Structure 1
């Protein structure tokens, strides 16, 4: 295969596209599914979902766009749809712009699922830290968890705020001796998956909720 140099960073791109064996490896997709997706004769098992630009029998190669469509085929196939069903659901005539919209939707859904999985993992870890060992060591174990996850400095700020999160100053806003960047960091911490359970088990019932309420008035020095 010949290679062409292109792009602003001088990366090399294949002049003739990718072979089916390479696509199988890149997408972890069954060779038969790739072949059927690109074979138009449905009487012989083809699904006719897409037609690669280079359709030479025995020498077919796949472009980046082809690989993008095949990736969507793989995801729908894994979701339980047959290739003929996918052929009726997927309109490859929308071109690259439509393909990018579909890939962006996949990206957004995956991000949501990732956040949910991360929250499940962190809540399980927090509960394990709280339950392993004696009850007297639970708070110590949870503080170690928070130190490992957030760093000792951030945990120190949380400890200070939990002790007096709603104490007002002369202007009626919570007293705060941290900078603007610290305020932003603390708000970010409160939004992290599983942090609600971690803070409540570490500092007592309602601690996380009080911090969230106090965060509304955090401005920093």
Structure 2
């Protein structure tokens, strides 16, 4: 069985491939454009990091693998895809969720990985409670692969970090309360998101909504 990576040019793979033990576990690393000409074998284990904002392009990639492929396909989604249970107003989690659902429906042996916020150091993680995974743990997953009997992986844990100041803590509490009041229309807070991002805080928008949902279910 060969192990093939789709998404050679992704920033995540560039970081992972720097670890020789990770790179050595893959027989080839391809870009999306390489797929049509690559000679896949029916039992190849294919890892898909490649992602497009265009939903049709994501579906086309999955179609290139095809429903007759018998090897496992490890398809990377995002932990933030859970916000689609509330709203579809955020593009990134919406597109990722739909691509993962399509992969699960079309591929014979799909394993959907819900990837958390990837960090090198704990100080990189947003303040508050965040679904996150360390680069070290992610590299270990790429070396070992998912368990043989699973079709879904939650590749994160809930990590709690203190806010940088009392002002940030208060701002986060107010934002969270407003987001709750918005219900299924959290994108009403987009103007606030701009200001929060300018302040250097990372917990706004779908990140906050996703983490609140995960905190209530994990």
**Normalised TM-score (structure 2):** 0.20
**Normalised TM-score (structure 1):** 0.20
Higher helix proportion: 1
Higher strand proportion: 2
- Structure whose alpha-carbon radius of gyration is higher: 1
RCO comparison, higher one (Cα < 8 Å, 6+): 2
